[in-house]
């Protein structure tokens, strides 16, 4: 297979530095980024929903969009489902349709935040019947995992309070743990539970799982099958996420990611659009663990973005490409030299090593990887030329939308 002069030049430079480009390409080809079904339907801000032409109206259309993102990127072979947004009477048929369009079903996300009953919370609701309702919904999702072959239950709770004195923190902590325990005990063989934290919203006085510490505590008390999910949007602006990532990896408790960007605070900004340096540093920790034979990890890489301004499929392709870029750069870090500089307390050199990797133009490398995977080297341009957007804009008109908006 022929390769571009830019790729050949990069390959030569890297080989001179002792970096095995073939090994790096193998890693890049194995990257796996899951996209969220809810990223393909109409969604909104707190203030309103802005409808988009061609937005997916039901689970089948969401699978088609996810499959399209995979077709153009080659590295997003699964889609996460949100229940009841993606609920169906026939899970076997949905699973088959996913396979038919070329996508697998990934994490199952229960929704215990949207029904009117959850106004005062779900598993920490003061009313025991609502707590029961939330647990039952999660158990229903465990059942859906079995029916779809999913091996991940991904949990996020909107539970919190807005006023001092509104609730008893310790009681709520116990309710949270009891609920998680019941669901944990029902998990099928060889599956995991991911516990996501968020420091604020919808409650602003306190949140029951506000940070990695609270999620880690629950996951640790529950056992091996429970791990923490890091959503990049769910941190205060100054927090060092790569440090959290390193800590969780070292404890065997990093289970997954929700990629987006914290500038918006939550789910609606493209990962790596504002702070690609941060994403590179996060990936630097992930690659360090991946290359360490003494560290075992099983991390689910998922996007959690619901675009209101950008066309949804395009935004997903762009996000996947940003994640490929960050991973490629992190793979180029000279690990031995970094360890040496760290041991010698040579701070300037250590930082320069990271900068050199981050400054490398990895586009020719990614283009080559895509070519070797049978994809177009320029996924976004290829998608734009494909006519998919024009097609869905014409055909997805009217009808009822099943989803959060
Ligand atoms: C909550 O903000 C969250 O990050 C959770 O992962 C939800 O499942 C998702 O967003 C819903 O959009
Ligand atoms: Mn999330």
pLDDT digits (tens, 9 = 90+) for 112-161: 999 999 999 999 999 999 999 999 999 999 999 999 999 999 999 999 99
**Ligand 2 centroid from CA 75, angstroms:** 20
Q: Measured from the CB, is residue 196 less than 6 Å from ligand 1?
A: yes
Looking at the domain assignment, is residue 26 inside a domain?
A: no
Mutational test site, ligand 1, from 35, 137, 155, 258, max ligand atoms within 8 Å of CB: 258
State which ligand 1 atom lies nearest to the alpha carbon of 229: 6
Contact partners, residue 105, CB within 8 Å, separation at least 6: 78, 79, 81, 94, 95, 98, 148, 149, 150
Residue count of the chain: 405
Tell me what pLDDT residue 238 has: 92
The ligand placed nearest to the CA atom of residue 266 is 1
Atom 1 of ligand 1: nearest residue by CA position: 156
Confidence check: pLDDT of 218 > 90: yes
Q: Measured from the CB, is residue 37 less than 6 Å from ligand 1?
A: no
Looking at the domain assignment, is residue 377 inside a domain?
A: no
User: Span 229-251, mean pLDDT?
Assistant: 96
Which helix (H) or strand (E) segment holds residue 354: the answer is helix 347-359
Looking at the domain assignment, is residue 355 inside a domain?
A: no
Do residues 352 and 359 make contact, with C-beta atoms less than 8 angstroms apart?
Answer: no
What stretches of 152-233 show up as alpha helix (H) in DSSP?
169-186, 212-222
Atom 9 of ligand 1: nearest residue by CA position: 304
State which ligand 1 atom lies nearest to the alpha carbon of 38: 12
* Maximal C-alpha separation, the chain: 68
Residue 254 DSSP SS3: strand
Closest CA to 285 of 253, 241, 238, 325: 241
Atom 6 of ligand 1: nearest residue by CA position: 156
Q: Provide the number of structural domains found in the chain.
A: 1
Looking at the domain assignment, is residue 309 inside a domain?
A: yes
Question: Nearest 5 degrees, angle CA 255-CA 256-CA 259?
Answer: 165
**Distance (Å, whole) CA 112 – CA 133:** 9
User: Which structural domain, as residue segments, surrounds residue 76?
Assistant: 31-333
Tell me what pLDDT residue 337 has: 96
Question: Nearest 5 degrees, angle CA 185-CA 197-CA 254?
Answer: 70
**Distance (Å, whole) CA 307 – CA 176:** 31
Asked whether the whole model's pTM tops 0.85, one would answer: yes
Arithmetic mean of pLDDT over the chain: 96
Q: Measured from the CB, is residue 257 less than 6 Å from ligand 1?
A: no
Looking at the domain assignment, is residue 37 inside a domain?
A: yes
Q: Which two tokens stand for residue 399?
A: 């009808």
Contact partners, residue 267, CB within 8 Å, separation at least 6: 231, 233, 258, 260, 304, 305, 306
The ligand placed nearest to the CA atom of residue 41 is 1
Tell me what pLDDT residue 188 has: 96
State which ligand 1 atom lies nearest to the alpha carbon of 109: 8
Q: Measured from the CB, is residue 159 less than 6 Å from ligand 1?
A: no
Which helix (H) or strand (E) segment holds residue 48: the answer is strand 48-49
Looking at the domain assignment, is residue 15 inside a domain?
A: no
Tens digit of pLDDT for each residue in 18-32? 899 999 999 999 999
What stretches of 48-168 show up as alpha helix (H) in DSSP?
59-73, 91-101, 128-148
CATH number at residue 299: 3.20.20.150
Q: Measured from the CB, is residue 38 less than 6 Å from ligand 1?
A: yes
Confidence check: pLDDT of 402 > 90: no
Looking at the domain assignment, is residue 197 inside a domain?
A: yes
The single residue listed with the structure tokens 């029902």 is: 186
**What are phi and psi for residue 343, nearest 5 degrees?**
-65, -35
Mutational test site, ligand 1, from 156, 230, 255, max ligand atoms within 8 Å of CB: 156
Tens digit of pLDDT for each residue in 351-382? 999 999 999 999 999 999 999 999 999 999 99
Confidence check: pLDDT of 278 > 70: yes
**Cβ atoms within 10 Å, residue 296:** 9
Mutational test site, ligand 1, from 230, 231, 305, 405, max ligand atoms within 8 Å of CB: 231
Handedness of CA 9, 12, 18, 21 (dihedral sign): positive
Looking at the domain assignment, is residue 152 inside a domain?
A: yes
Q: Is residue 47 very low, low, confident or very high in pLDDT (cuts 50, 70, 90)? A: confident
Tell me what pLDDT residue 266 has: 65
Q: Measured from the CB, is residue 267 less than 6 Å from ligand 1?
A: yes
Confidence check: pLDDT of 298 > 90: yes
Confidence check: pLDDT of 247 > 90: yes
Tens digit of pLDDT for each residue in 309-330? 999 999 999 999 999 999 999 9
Tens digit of pLDDT for each residue in 72-120? 999 999 999 999 999 999 999 999 999 999 999 999 999 999 999 999 9
């Amino acid at each position: 297979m022929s390769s571009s002069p830019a790729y050949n030049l990069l390959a030569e430079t890297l080989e001179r530095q002792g970096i095995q480009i073939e090994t790096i390409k193998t890693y890049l080809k194995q990257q796996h980024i899951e996209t969220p079904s809810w990223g393909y339907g109409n969604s909104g801000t707190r203030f309103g929903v802005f409808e988009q032409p061609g937005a997916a109206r039901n689970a089948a259309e969401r699978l088609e969009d996810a499959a399209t993102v995979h077709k153009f990127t080659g590295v997003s072979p699964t889609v996460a489902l949100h229940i009841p947004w993606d609920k169906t009477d026939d899970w076997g048929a949905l699973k088959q349709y996913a396979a038919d369009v070329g996508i697998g079903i990934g994490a199952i996300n229960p929704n215990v935040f949207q029904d009117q009953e959850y106004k005062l919370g779900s598993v920490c609701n003061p009313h025991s019947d609502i707590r029961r309702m939330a647990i039952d919904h999660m158990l229903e999702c465990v059942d859906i995992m079995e029916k779809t072959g999913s091996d991940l239950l991904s949990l996020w709770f909107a539970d919190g309070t807005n006023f001092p004195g509104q609730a008893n923190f310790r009681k709520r902590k116990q309710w949270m743990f009891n609920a998680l325990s019941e669901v944990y005990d029902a998990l099928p063989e060889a599956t995991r539970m991911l516990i996501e934290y968020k420091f604020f919203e919808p409650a602003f006085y306190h949140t029951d799982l506000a940070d990695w510490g609270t999620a880690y505590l629950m996951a640790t008390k529950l056992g091996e099958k429970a791990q923490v999910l890091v959503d990049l949007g769910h941190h205060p602006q100054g927090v060092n996420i790569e440090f959290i990532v390193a800590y969780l990896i070292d404890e065997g408790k990093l289970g997954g990611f929700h990629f987006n960007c914290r500038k918006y605070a939550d789910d609606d900004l493209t990962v790596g659009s504002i702070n690609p340096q941060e994403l590179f540093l996060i990936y630097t920790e992930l690659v360090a663990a991946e290359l360490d034979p003494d560290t075992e990890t099983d991390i689910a890489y998922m996007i959690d973005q619901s675009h209101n301004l950008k066309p949804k499929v395009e935004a997903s392709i762009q996000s996947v490409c940003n994640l490929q870029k960050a991973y490629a750069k992190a793979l180029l870090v000279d690990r031995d030299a970094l360890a040496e500089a760290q041991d010698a307390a040579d701070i300037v050199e250590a930082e320069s090593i990271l900068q050199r990797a981050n400054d490398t133009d990895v586009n020719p490398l990614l283009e080559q990887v895509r070519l070797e995977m049978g994809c177009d080297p320029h996924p976004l341009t290829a998608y734009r030329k494909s006519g998919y957007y024009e097609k869905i804009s014409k055909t997805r008109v009217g009808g009822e939308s099943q989803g959060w908006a």
